[in-house]
Chains A and B, each alone.
Chain A
Amino acid sequence: MESEVNGILVAAHELKAPLNLLRQLAFSLDFAEDEKDVKLIQNKMINVSDRALRQVQDLTKIARLEDGLFEMEPVAVRAVCDEVTEELRTLFRFNHRNLEIEYRNKTRLVSANRELLYSIVYNFCLNAMHYSDEETRSELTLSDKDGKVRLDVRDFGPALPMDVWRSLKKGWVEKPTSIAMRPGSSGLGLYIASKFSQYMNANVGAVRHRDGTSFFVELMPSKQLSLF
């Protein structure tokens, strides 16, 4: 019970950030210089709300996982990555960061639930953007490894704390946990990614680098013949 309450507390802390930002954006509408500026602030408000809503939706999906409502199907993994990166590209640019993609995988279809896979990739990329240093890049890579399709998202920021890395090495994150070296984060995105991966029988993990971290998920290839 105590750990559940702690989990809720750290998740709540992470969800506070977009609400605080929305509040300040609403105030800043009063200081807009012209119509263009108003539009810009409104767009920011929409983007921040979208990101926060996505996180809340992901949390509700976790509760629905037990009901088995998410069907496994052949999913074109490159298309999912394309969609996520398209959605996040503006956000990266606004934050003076860059997202690079490299597809080395020959296997195009994985066995997954599209919605859950989308959330995993989205959470990994958002995490990478947040923890990369300014004017650096994050890298999304797809490759084939040991009969699976591996999706890596690498950031160039502070190293991942040992305890979180150990937890990921076991294959899952049991609850949202404060990440000391990555403040502002409850590790909520990692927790969500971990839960969704478990559901899809995929492995989730992290590689520590001296200048950052790679988070990865290893997906089972779909047995269905690819038409690509």
Chain B
Amino acid sequence: MVEEFQASKPIYMQIADKINQQIIRGELLPGNKLPSVREMAVKSGVNPNTIQRTYSELERMEIVETRRGQGTFVTENEGMLHQLKLRMQMDIIESFVKNMKELGLTEEDMVSGLKRYFIGKREI
């Protein structure tokens, strides 16, 4: 089925996020070839110009590289991929912290809350 997208974020960014997640989870490995723009467009039901923009953005972030006449590949620069992982973690932490602050919680509340959460999980 055609994918669903959130309204608040450009579609090209949402697809870039998805590809980044696949890279971090190891579903896409360094040096792996990404689907062609057309294949990706068909797979996700998205305008090819949008996919082109996703690929350009990933290239700008140095996460993928386009080899002339061959296609687009995940970078083999492990340093870049490590940075990507840190950056995505940071994004999630930032939004978590922001939400908690909006509830009026302090840093200590968050840390102890997290600890309690993980202990609770283990006991279940």
Are A and B physically bound partners? no
User: Which A residues lie at the B interface, using CB under 8 A?
Assistant: none
